[in-house]
Amino acid sequence: MDQLVFLILSIISIGAALAVIFSKNPVYSVLFLILTFFSIAGHYVLLNAQFLFIVHIIVYAGAIMVLFLFVIMLLNLNKTNETSKSMLPKIAGAISGGLLLIVLLGAVKGLNQAEASQAVNADMGSVKNLGKILFSEYLLPFEVSSALFLSAMIGAVMLGKKNLKDH
Amino acid sequence: MQVLSNTVNNYLVLASILFAIGVMGVLVRRNIIIIFMSIELMLNAINLLLVAFSVFHNDASGQVFVFFIMAVAAAEVTVGLAILVMIYRNTGSVDINSLNKLKW
């Protein structure tokens, strides 16, 4: 049962990921990327990581994708204006990506299989457990990430300004 | 859950494929927005692998790490899209071939 769900979700994610990079219209790319993110969220459910499932949906499908769609529609980019002068760079890129995949799969295949941890903790990925860890062991990185967000926000506003001299 | 070792191998293969698709997108496409999306795809492949290993090793630190990666990815997308809007304003296109000032 788990294997079947895993297989279906994997096929959806790989197919949608391929559609992201091969569709001509950027809006379709964003929509396929949303599909990929939802299938990855399904993988999180399968791995019993409920907290990350919720965070993934909120952050990616809720925030990042809206940002992408907003920019595409703001800049009016939903037309195919990709001029392809030569096919050579594209073919070289595709071959390089394929070779990387082969190398990764070869490395995975040669791995020594470690023993699986016997005691599977069912509520390890729950909000309660991860919240406890986040606010005790990882309190400093958690607080520092707020500074990161503040600087990212200020940076985005500064970059988005039309002209800094005549404000 | 009973065949965990088998499962982790499956997740390794899936994450490798997703990561390779992301790399291929960065190399093949010339549209900056699509390149951004490919980077997101790679980040997600790594997140998935981290969660799989976290469950495999019964260690919750991996999932906390994924949480931080998501936070950094959100910040990165914000600044990146702001830069993209500025590029579009200055050059009138989102093709990275128009950004060849540093090329010789």
**CATH number of the domain to which A62 belongs:** 1.20.120.1200
Total number of domains constituting chain A: 1
Which pLDDT score is estimated for A12? 94
> What are A22-44's pLDDT values in tens digits?
888 888 999 999 999 999 999 99
Q: How far is B12 from chain A (nearest CA, A)?
A: 7
| Range of weakest confidence among A4-18, A70-84, A153-167 | A70-84
Domain limits for position A50: 1-78
Stretch A146-159: mean pLDDT: 92
Q: How far lies B27's CA from each of A91, B12, B39, B72, in Å?
A: 9, 22, 11, 23
Tell me the chain B residues in contact with residue A115 when contact means C-beta distances shorter than 8 Å.
5
Residue A124: pLDDT over 50? yes
Instruction: Confirm whether A97 is domain-assigned.
Output: no
Q: Is the pLDDT of residue B13 over 60?
A: yes
If 0-12 CB within 10 Å is exposed, 13-18 middle and 19+ buried, where does residue A63 land? middle
**What pLDDT, on the 0 to 100 scale, is given for residue B2?**
46
DSSP per residue over B18-47, as a string? HHHHHHHHHHH--BHHHHHHHHHHHHHHHH
In a domain, A162, yes or no: no
The reply to whether A38 falls in a domain is yes
Across the interface, whether the CB atoms of A68 and B33 are under 8 A apart is answered yes
Cβ contacts below 8 Å, chain A against chain B, sum to 223
User: Considering only residues 101 to 160 of chain A, which have any Cβ-Cβ distance to chain B shorter than 8 Å?
Assistant: 101, 104-105, 108, 111, 113-117, 119-121, 124-125, 129-130, 133-134, 137-138, 141, 145, 148-149, 151-153, 155-157, 159-160
pLDDT at A108: 85
Phi then psi for residue A24, to 5 deg, are -75, -40
* Structure confidence at residue B6 (pLDDT): 65
Q: Is residue A89 part of a domain?
A: no
Tens-digit pLDDT profile for residues A50-96: 899 999 999 988 888 888 888 888 887 666 555 566 788 888 888 99
Report if residue A43 sits inside a domain: yes
Q: Tell me if chain A has a CB within 8 Å of the CB of B29.
A: yes
What whole-number percentage of chain A has pLDDT above 70? 86
Q: Which of A38-52, A110-124, B51-65, B82-96 has the lowest mean pLDDT?
A: A110-124
Percent of chain A topping pLDDT 90: 41
Q: Are A59 and B74 in contact (CB < 8 Å)? A: yes
Residue B95 has pLDDT above 80, yes or no: yes
- Rounded to the nearest 10°, the torsion over CA B48, B53, B58, B60 is -50
**A137 assigned to some structural domain:** no
Is residue A24 domain-resident?
Answer: yes
Q: Which residue has the higher pLDDT, A77 or B55?
A: B55
Does some domain include residue A83? no
Q: Binning pLDDT at 50, 70 and 90, where does residue A119 land?
A: low
Min distance A14 CA to chain B CA atoms (Å): 7
Minimum CA–CA partner of B95 in chain A:
A82
